[in-house]
Chains A and B, each alone.
Chain A
Amino acid sequence: MHALRIGSLSTAVLIGSLLALLLGALPITVNADVAGKSPLLLENPADGIYVHRGAMATTAAENGGDIANIGFIVGSRCVAVIDTGGTQAVGTALLAALRKRTDKPVCYVIHTHVHPDHSFGDAAFVGDATVFVAHARFPAALAARREGYRQALDRLLGVQAAGSEIAMPTLLVEGERQLDLGDRVISLKAWPTAHTNQDLTVFDLRTKTLWTGDLLFAGHVPVVDGKAIGWLAAIDALIALNAAHVIPGHGPPLRDAATAFADQRRYLQVLVSECRQALRDGVTLATAVDAIGSVEKERWLLFEDYHRRNVTAVYTELEWEN
């Protein structure tokens, strides 16, 4: 008994130190800034373009819900914020960072899609002067999901979730629409169902900067909450925009996004072709989620968190394609 206890203790110590080593090596940043509501760290990839990179992680207490890329574009008249982060605290810290760069009013908060890690920071920006902008299908998606998102946020973050709210947008985009921030025009495009059924991209004409929202994941495994086939088509159209700077929804801002787009396309194509084969062969969903796409496992962060759900989504999408 005594020997056993010593044995298991040293095993625990060993596992603990291995874990510490692993954690140290992983690109998980603890964003202590958010808790103290001090400004977020920003990158400035192009003139007037500011991006805060979220942690490459799922929403958890140690990252405070700060897991998505968020930021803003500064014009001579006003500022457009693009996504607001996973909690009110993240949104407040983004606003604090923004105020260190400019005192111009925030005229628009633009949602790239409804997912909570991009939008619960809205609470920090609600005010008379700010118009919330989103895809025309955003309100219905938000109405259906808000309750569930709120419960999940409370469960994952507890008190850190306090005050978080997703605002109902009032300026809705179908097709394309341009907004003038003062000597700076940005072009918004609402996409057919791809990553979700309400993806919206933002293109800054002056610096040719493309904010893809979650239509591009760089390094972080893509997440399919829409249609893989539609997403593959969107990727081709996004590449054709020839952007000088690309800001993905997750992962680093890129000067050259060709590799990131190619990686994502390959991942989705693997899912589509293997799911089609499984459906032809009569392989069940339960078997498919364990077998499909394993070749991609080492190529992505957070693969274990999202991949099987992606297989479920693509398999059930393709079940009805003929």
Chain B
Amino acid sequence: MRRRVARYSTLLPGLLLLAASLLSTTAALADTAPQASEVSVWSKVRSALFGSRVIDENAEAIIRLDAPSRAEDAATVPIAIRSQLLQTPSRYIRKLYLLVDNNPSPIAAVFELQPESGRAEIETRIRVEQYTEVRAIAELNDGALYMAHRYVKASGGCSAPAGKDPQEALRNVGRMRLRVDGPIEAGRPTVAQLAISHPNASGLVLDQLTRLYQPAYYVRTIEVRYAGRPVLTADIDFSISENPNFRFYFVPDGDGELQADVVDTEDLHFGSQLAIKVGGLGGPTR
């Protein structure tokens, strides 16, 4: 618990400040050429997160980003951060940053990983507000930075109303599901999926009747542990799609419980557990 408080106090205020300063920038730039806004938003995010540190863009061996060049549904754009690097205690990716340059809040997620994560791969779905560069930046345990990026053509994903059926979405807030697809072997990276039923709403939808913006309501932090040890932690915001969904890896070293805990912006806490048996086939929580 103390650890969590410490992490908020160091990371979150910075991110929020940055988001606030960028919100006006991106709004003002909405009608200008995409190129101009990309440069300025990225340079701001870059210096805020990484200062003057070198970021290696020749990153194929470390990190890759899969994203559609043209998104079919701007509110649900599937992306995958891939890595060839096997996580070992001596060399591993300790952080993955997922950035969407031209979104109102460009830092979509910051994932923290461990050697026990097995592979630094994350699949999720993002909102895209306008044509944009999407970036995945890996920070290794020695501090080295690597970046992969893809240009995605989509628009309106953040200011789109949440969901096909908003009333139902609110009724189901906080339902969670963990799923592991076996066979499960001790010591082998195993893929798991966490699904959270949540509007993860941007607050950018203008209510024409009241002329007020609906309040932002989204998942803020995610912590996944296996047998009590952290596998994946993430600070996310509303650039992650409604019903946040993550596929990631963990390494079971024996039987144990996969535990996911989630906190949203209303400070509501949700949790889900899945018992894992080495030699078993996995399956979903119900």
Contacts and interface: CB of A to CB of B under 8 A. Distances in A.
Given A284-B247, A320-B172, A144 B161 contact: yes
A312 B179 contact: no
B253 interface: no
Interface stretch (A18-26, A64-72, A134-142): A134-142
A313 B160 CA distance: 14
A197 B164 CA distance: 7
B165 A312 contact: no
Contacts of A320: 172, 175, 195, 197, 243
Nearest to A290: B68
A142 B164 contact: no
A226 interface: yes
Contacts of B207: 143-144
A225 B164 contact: yes
Contacts of B245: 285, 319
A294 to B, nearest CB: 15
A47 interface: no
A193 B166 CA distance: 11
B206 A313 contact: no
A141 B123 CA distance: 30
A146 B156 CA distance: 12
B165 A309 contact: no
Contacts of A52: none
Given A152-B156, A285-B78, A309-B72, A139 B209 contact: yes
Given A226-B164, A284-B247, A144 B78 contact: no
A319 B169 CA distance: 13
Contact of B156 (A140, A148, A312): A148
Interface string B27-68: 000000000000000000000000000000000000000101
Contacts of B79: 286
Nearest to B179: A282
B105 to A, nearest CB: 18
Contacts of B160: 144-145, 148
B76 interface: yes
Contact of A312 (B73, B195, B247): B73
Interface string B73-85: 1001011100000
Interface string A127-166: 0000000000001111111111001100000000000000
A139 B210 CA distance: 12
Interface string B173-185: 0010001010000
Interface string A183-199: 00000000001001100
A140 B165 contact: no
Nearest to B180: A282
Nearest to B242: A316
Q: Which 9 A-B pairs have the closest CB atoms?
A: A144-B161, A286-B78, A308-B72, A309-B72, A143-B208, A282-B181, A312-B73, A285-B78, A309-B73
Given A143-B206, A146-B208, A319-B245, 13 more contacts: A147-B208, A148-B159, A151-B156, A193-B164, A282-B181, A284-B80, A286-B78, A289-B72, A289-B78, A312-B72, A320-B175, A320-B195, A320-B243
